[in-house]
Structure formats: C-alpha cells, structure tokens
Structure 1
Amino acid sequence: MLFVILGKTLRSRPIVLCLILTLILNTNIQSHHVAVITSSSNYMTSSDIVLPVWMQDLQEHDPIEILSDADFEDQGWPGNGSESNPFIIENLLIRSEYTSIMIRNTTKHFEVRRCHLTRPDSVLGGGPAVSFRNVTNGHAINNIINGTAYGLLIRNSTGVVVTDNTVYDTMFSGVEVDWAQEVLIANNTIHHSVSGIALYETTDLTIRDNRVYRCHTGVFLTDVHSSNILGNTIWRNILGLDLAIGNSIITNNSIYWNAEFGIRVSTGIASNMVYGNRIGWNGVHNAEDNSNSTGWDDGLGTGNSWNDYNGTGQYPVPGSSAGLDRWPLVLVDNAAPVVDQPLDMDFEFGSKGLMLRWNTSDEFPNSYQIMVNGLWVEEGTWIDQTITFLLDDLQNGTHTLRLRLWDAQGNYAESYVSVHVSEAEPPMISNPPDIEYVVGGSGYNITWIPEDAYPESYGIFINGTLSESGEWNGSAILVSVDGLNAGLYNFMLVVFDDPGQNATDTVLVRVRAQTGTPPPDTLGVVLLLFGVGVVGFVITFSILYTSTPYLMRFRREDDSEDPEEIQVAIEELQEDRSETGRSV
C-alpha cells in the first residue's frame, strides 16, 4: 500500500498535489466455516434487470448555473419553490469538465434528482458535479455521479438533504460539507474516492445508513458538533472513520476490514461519544485515540463490540489518550455466508443477456470471486445481496462456474453451477408461393414467417441488391411487390439470429405487360330500337385489354317498374372469329 501526499495543510485538510493510492486488501481467511447451500432457480436474462426509469430517459444538457431564486423560474424549471411543489431539475445527463450543477444564494425549495453527472472522457479533474453554496432547502436525490473532482460540495448552507445517490471515482470527496448546518446525508453509496464523506466545521448533521468502501478515508469529521453518525457501513478503506475536534455521537455503525484503523481520533479537543458500534478485523488497530476527551461508551452501560476483546474487564483503546470502553462486548462472527444454489443451466450458443444470479447474505460481507473452468475471471467487493455473472462469452461445451464468498471474519461459502452451451439451431423460414400479375395490379404481398429462439436482424434483396433491412423480433416479415414494371424479379429474404446463423428464402415475382388500353369503368349505353317480333340482332363488343376479366351488365328496359338486369361474365360470352374480341 502506498499513499503519498505532497503539499501543506489548510484547515486540517491536505491540499493534494500528488496522490498515488494503491489499495491492496488481501483476503485473510482466519477460519473455515462453510455454508449449507440450498437450491433455487436463479436463471435470468438481462430483461429481468430493470433499470430505473430515469436511466432510460436521460436528456443531454449543458451545465446549469442558478445564482438566485429568480433563476429557477427564468430558466423554466418546473415547480414554484414551495415545500409541496419544489423546483425540479431531473432526468439529465451532464458531462462537464467543471461544475455540472451550481446553485447559489437561494432560499426556495428545489430538488436535483435522477441525473447522471460526469466529465468528458478526455478531461481529468475539474470541479464538483453538484455545488450548493449559501443554499437553503436544497435536495440532491437518487443521482449517479462519477469521474469528477468532488461528487457533491455543500458550503454555507442550511436544510440540505443528500439521499440515495451513488458517487464513485472522484479525485477528492464523494460528499463534502463545509460550514453548514441541519444537513442530512443518508442512504448513499460512495466508493473509490479519497474521502467518502468529509465534514468540516458543521453543526447539527445526520449521517446515516450510507455505504462507504474502497476510499482512503471512509468518513472524515473535524470540528463537527451536535451531529449524529449512525447506521453506516464503512469497510475496505485505508481509514474507516477519522475524527478530530467535535462533540458528535457515533453509534450503531459497522466498521470493519479497513487496512489501518477502524476509527482514529486525532489530537485535539474531541468530545465525541462512540458507542453501540460493531468494530472489527481492521488492520493496525480497531481504534486509536490521541484526543483528550473522546468517550468510548455512552456512560450508561453501552459500549462497542470489538472482535479483539478478550471478554474480560474494560477494553483499552490504543493511543496517547488511554481511552477506555467500560462496557465492551465481544464481536463474534462464526456464521458462514449464506448463498443459494442456482440450478444448472442449458442454452444455445450465442444467446445474449443470460445471467447467473446468486442470492447471498452475511452480517459482515467482504469479498467474492468467480471462477470458470478453474480460472478466476472476476473478483470484487461483496456489496449487494445479489451477485450476477453474464454468460454471453461462454463457448459450446459444458462449463463449471464457482462462486466463493468471504466475510470479514474469513468465513466463506461456495456455490458450483454447471452450464451447458449447445450448438444453436439456425433460423427457419416459410416458403411463400411465387407471384404473377399484370402491370398495374395491386394488393400483392410476400409474407415470410421466419422462426428462431434468438432473432436479431433481417435483409431483403431484389435481384441481388439490398432493398430493406432492420431488426427482427421474431414476427412475420411482409413486403409489398406492387408497382413493379414488367419483368421477372427475385425477392430474397435473409434472417440472422444472435449466434450469427442465417437462413434465406427466395420468391419469384413475374410482372406481365398490358396488351392494350384498359377499358373504361362502363362500356357506355347502347340504345337499340326494333319492332316487336324482330329477331336475329347480334351485339358485338371488342375487348382490347387482356387483364383481369371484367363483368358486363345488360339491361332491358320496358314499361315495367323494375328493370331486369342480366350479368354475364366475359368468360361466358360466345367468342367471335376475330382475334380481338368476343361477341354475344
């Protein structure tokens, strides 16, 4: 582990000019309690992983700068600034090399929510993603922030709420609060920052239920008063909780597996009270106290749980202050992690989005590794109760997947799953009949019905030239062949599935030329006058168009009220001796 800071200190805070941080956290297995694993069906696809709605509908936006209450309305943000109808900034993707959202000198209620705030890929450093300064009643809720200098920077503000955000890969602090009061920081996940949460010269804060890991310092407090730090999980950092001047209450936190100290209290006038916490398996010491007045119990009979307490007497806290926990408890974790056993899987090669899912639990989760056919392919911090592994890259054959979990005590659990990848069946396509029609005909279509378990795309070629292509979702594919000139056409459909296999089918379309001018809708009215009893008259019509047979109508009108109508199809007419017509 190497951590180098060059520079000077301002307000007990290092100005970092050069930072080289390498975290090497070994898996130190202290015991071998193996879990009993139960079977369950955990075979899912990527469609089972539902992204939050706001992640599916982000709009790119330029950086936002609000310098007064009037700017909210002038810039068109919805809401009226009341507590029940705050101004809303939401569903935005902002990439900025400086500050993505800056809000200053406001008193109206507002919310920044469901935004992804980051920096351009080619830019290093920059400013905070979110900056609140001299703000009252501001909320930052459910945002994702990464790659910036700071995640959220709150200064000279009152009544600010920061909840349910994910902040990672920041150069300095994930969340920093300076000279503020009445601030709530809750339910955030912060990792891979120099300081996860950093608090300076603040009063009346609540820091609860956050998860902070893989930082240099998980939570840092100096000159913080009348505040509560409770219910947080702080693990796998260099320093877990770093305290200096202040008189806050630190209770009910899980602080474990940090490389140096779980809790360190620096030199200074510190009247913090630390009790009801679970502190264990930290590298150098679980705690170190160099202050003059830190309390390690509540004075009423409640101390902390320590994994290195021997169960007898008081617990001496290392450091120059000779601090004591007068009512310590032994922190014991003899229970192995719990992991269910997914059923073995069998699917075709090339299937996309299939995932293996393990449901897990432990009081002090630490790390995990995944092995495929004897080779480790993935490892990381055990954070969530569900661990997933994407199966897209598996080739044909039978594979053994192994998950191993470790908790802070070193207890572990394993799960083995057999995954068989079979050779995929190619797509199948129906074979529609060939088509023939005369120029000018309409209503002619080719309907192909292709089938495949993993449809992907299609292409339609006419005489060897691509005419149409697109995504294929497994449904029928229809193409109109109307409007063609006379000739012979080769229509070919090609469909592809996810594994890259394809199938084709060809339909021939013959379009015949017209041999004359199409007839009018009616052939006109012919009036014949002849005497009663006259016979032998012949009416001759010449049909000069050889398309679809037409229908002729003959009407005889006399003195009766209802004329009689006779319909005769062309095919039924008596042919004459000419080549151009028929007669009756």
Structure 2
Amino acid sequence: MKRASLVSLGMLIISTLYVTSGFQLAIFPGFEYTTPYNLKDVFAESYIGHDPINIRNDTDFKSQADSEGWEGNGTLSFPYVIESYTIISGVEYSIQITDVSSYFVIRNCIFTNSFRGSYGVRLENATYGHLFDCEVSKQVYGVYVYESPGLAIDNVTVWDCNDTGLYITYSAGCSITACNVTDSDINIAIDNSPSCEVINNVIYGSLNGPGLGVTYSGLTIVSQNQIYDNSENGVWLTNSDNCILTNNMIYNNTIHGLYSETSDFVEVNANEIWGNGWYPTESLSNGIHTESCDYWTILGNQIWNNTESGVFLMSSEYGNIVSNVVFDNNFTGIFSDHSLSQFISDNIAYRNEIGIYSTDMNARIIDNIVFDNVFGIGMLGSSTCWVHSNDIGWNFDDNAYDVGGFDNNWYMNWYSDFSGQGNYTITQPDVFDMYPSKSLEINSSTPQEYNYGTSGNRIFFPAQALNPKEYEVYVNDNLLYHKTWDGTDIEIDVDGFDVGNYEITVAVYHVSGHSTNATSALYVLAPTTTAPTIPTTTSPITQPPPDGINLIIVVIGGGAIAVVIIIVVLMRRRLSQD
C-alpha cells in the first residue's frame, strides 16, 4: 500500500501544479483542467478481508447477495452493492461476474494478488455494472471487461499489471472517468468497443505499450486526460473512425504523442501536445503522427518541442489542419508527406527547422503565419499545390523554397524580405510569386510644419502589415504612447506642441514580435506679429440731400468767402484814412 499511496500523492501534486499554473488557461480560455474526483489511496483499516468472489448468473447473484447481506435487489433503482472489501487473491481473479442482467455496484474495494493472478476484476456479459472508488494492482489484467456494453468505471486506481491496466473489449458505450492508471504494460486498451468515453483520467508510465490504445473502436471520445511518460505512444489509434480527442494534455511519451493508422474522420482539437519522442533510438517521433488516415480535422492545438515534427501526415487525404500553434519542434512544425488534398490554413509555425513542409499533390496552404524557422514554407516534389495569402517572414535561411515540383501556384503571399518591386523569386529559379507583398512596412512622410496654437495638424505614415500587433509613437526618442494597430496607414495628431523642431518616430510591430520604424520631421513655428490698426469714426448720413442741393451749397459757400474778403479790405482802408 505504500507504493500506491506515493503514486496517488504524486499524481495529486502534479495535477495541482498544472491546474494552478494558469498556462493551459491562457491557451484555451474558459477551459479548466481538473484532477480526477479523488486520487486517494482507498485502503482503510475498516475494509473487510474477503475471499475471491465469483458470480456466475443472476440466480447466483441473488443467492450470494442474500448470504452476504449485500444491499440492493438488482434493479436499476436499487442495485446490488458490493463494497468495502480487501481481496488479496491467490487464484485467477479477485472478483468475477459473468452472465448477469442485474444492476450492480462495486465500490470502495481493494483487489490485489499475491502471485499475479489473471484478473483483478473480470466482468463478462455484465452490462449494468458500475465500478468506482476502487484500487486494483499486481494482476495480469487489472480490470477486464468483455461483452458488457455500457459499463461505467469511475475513480479507480490501477497499477502494476503485467498486461493491461483497464481492458475493454467487445463492450460498446463504456465509460472510463477520473481514473489513475499507471505502471502496466499498456495502461488502458479499448478494443472492438465503439462509442466509449475516456474522460478526465491520469494515464502515465506504461511499461511496454501505449498509455491509451484504441483499436476497431469508432466514435470513441478521449477528453480532458493527462497522458504522459508512457513507454511508446501516448495514444495509439488504429482502425477507429469518427473518434474525437479534445482538451487533453499529451506529453513526454517515448515515441509519438498521438499515433494513428487507417482511422478516418477523426477530430483532434484543443489539445496540448509536447515533449514526445525522448527515447534516443526513435528518430521519427512526432506530436501527432498519421498514416493512411483520411478526412481528419486537427484544429486549435498547441504542439511543441517534439523530437521530429509537431504534425506529421503520411499518405493521408483530405485533412483539415487549421488554427494550430506549432513551435520548437526539431524538424517541422507541420509535415504533409505524399498526401493528397490537405487543407493547411491559419496555423502559426515558428522556431522549427521548417515551418510547413509538403511533398503532396493538390495541397492548399493558405493564411498561415510562418516565422523564425530555419526555412519558412518548403516544398519538395509537390505538384498542383496552392500556396497563397501566407505571412512568411524572418526565417533564417529561406522564407520559401520549391524544389522538384511542377504546377505549384505561389500567389499573393507576404514576405518579410520582399523588395516592394516586381515578383518574389522562390528558391527554384522558375518559381515566382506574381503578386507578393511585404510582411511589415512603414515609410516616412515629408517634413511637416505648422504655426503654434493652430489645430488640426497631422503627420501621415504610409504603413501595412497582414498580421499587425501594435504601434508606438516617439517624440525625440521618448515614448509618447502606443496603440493596437489594424495594419493600415497611421495618422498622428501633433497638435499642442511648443515652438521647436521635433523628430516623430513610429515603430510598427508584427504579431511575431518583429518591428520596423520610420521617422519624420516636425517644425512648430512661432506665431506671426501684425501692426495694430487705428479705428476711425465717421458720421453717417442718414438722409441723402435733395437733388441739386450740393451745387447750391458750393455756390453759397463761394459767395460768403467773397463777402468776407471785401469786408476785410474796406476795414483796412478806413483805418488807413483815420
């Protein structure tokens, strides 16, 4: 029991760390990983030691229930309850129930074996069972379910089984929920059992096989599990169509995170898949690896730090690989190898050796953001593929190359190193992008000036980006403000500056973090001084004179002057006579 207690405690700590780290919450907003309902060691001193239990049919079930005093009568509303036993078996099984239609519950029990018997719990043709809050260990098969559709297994800890921890075969519609399964050759296997559910389990440390194996079991749902440190693949899916894998954490498995062959119409969405392929002899180890799998949808996953590729598709057709983030994988972010009509769109691929790599026919590689890889988008021997509207930038050797293919169409992509003139030459001399654009660009405007105190003054910076992030405005190298950018031309309000000369610099940022800038001069002039005006006063004429009055006034005025002159002359003469 000491080992089981340490396993349970360790898993509780690990689960808590992942929940509290906040990392997965940032990648998938609104989704919260939860630990299984209860990872405690269910051993208690009050459990009753009991001999192995073997129930062969409904009559036998009723007889043993009566003699043992088990609660219930085998109906849906009042099932038989087998609980609180510790069975340390020295025979083939700890508990075996076969050929019953009765409803029953097995809970709060420990099943182990002194010499590794074949089965801890064996259920055959026992449809209406529910196994929960139990611990099973040191068996060949921990829990073995055969021809028992609809069986539910909840919060069961299974460890140290020579073959398989939980094995479901020919039992459609079973559910495995909130279990902790470890240290078995294969931790969980579902075989010929469609429509099963594997939800919110911790599946780790398999010894000689996958953490979870699903074979000939279509419509299986695998959700919200932590699957890690398994000796081969985290999940192995074969001949199982229409399965869904969502919101799982799949990491540090020896070979692949998810391996699948001949399984069609599978959905893989919103998973975190990382660090797979750590065993040194396994060079071809990928986050997701498919062979002959058609009509897959791989959507919204975060896939990183896998030994070979994030996503590897071999001889697969008509897939949709959309809106994934793939980074830090040793070879490729996404590699579609000799496949047909794959649709690869809206992915972000960075810090891989090759961001997106194709040897396909008729692939569509559209609207991806590919940056900071050694090579951006590479094509080798591909034919009739369309590569358009991708943002390909700042890749160290080549943004794009196309070797040995024919009739591939590179069209309207954005490149960080485009000169702005003419076509863009792909590595192969006769392959061109006829209508390229530059990933990130801003140009200076002509110097601007205005008089101090005026308003409505602007500086205009021609700019563009397909995937913009923000821009910053500097005045004489001092940050003035920053704003979210929509990728179009930028107009800066420069009202309110004091008189003086300024350098206005605008730095624009791509979503990748790369930036460029442009600077324009601004001159704010002192206001002009003008001479003051002297007001004049006039007496308005309110009534125009009658016709001819102006002439009369002139005549009268002239006569009056003559009279005055005559009078003055006469007065002087009189004075002289006197």
TM-score, L = length of structure 1: 0.45
Greater strand share, structure number:
1
TM-score, L = length of structure 2: 0.45
Greater RCO structure (CA 8 Å; 6+ sep):
1
Greater helix share, structure number:
2
